[in-house]
Amino acid sequence: MSESIKAFQKYRERMNAEILSCGHLGIKRFFALDHDAYQGGALPSKTKELLGLVASVILRCNDCITYHLIQCHKEKVTDQELQEALNVALIVGGSITIPHLRKAFEVWGELKEKEKESRA
């Protein structure tokens, strides 16, 4: 993975650990609900990650976009699947989401480039 994605993951893990270590029951429950929501069920995890990505673009959260793209990459989302999901986000969110589409394409490109390098 690119250094920016590694830095994102390291920061996210460190801060999530700090947040969860505070011991607040409501916070712990919310984090558990969030984790469980993306587990496979009637909808596979791959679909749920794409849904999370679309919501993240519409809500204009670049950290969330990065996280869901990493998960989508792990779930073997294809370029075509990703593009269709991002098109839905653009239609629902409007032109204000275009900067976040840029971010999504940038991160996806980094993930794919690192994958190519690891295969070479």
Least confident interval from 7-16, 35-44, 79-88, 110-119:
110-119
Question: What was the pLDDT predicted at 67?
Answer: 98
> In the 8-state DSSP scheme, what is residue 40?
-
Q: Is 44 helix (H, G, I), strand (E, B) or coil?
A: coil
Please say if the pLDDT value at position 65 is more than 90: yes
In the chain, the percentage of residues whose pLDDT exceeds 70 is 99
Local structure of residue 9 (DSSP, 8 states): H
Given a cut of 80, is residue 1 above it in pLDDT? Answer: no
Domain 3-119 belongs in CATH node 3.30.70.20: no
Q: What is the CA radius of gyration of the chain?
A: 15
| Cα distance between residue 67 and residue 63, in whole Å | 6
For residue 25, pLDDT over 80 is answered with yes
Q: Helix H segments across 1-120? A: 3-21, 25-37, 45-59, 62-74, 79-93, 98-119
The pTM for the full model equals 0.92
User: Domain extents for the chain?
Assistant: 3-119
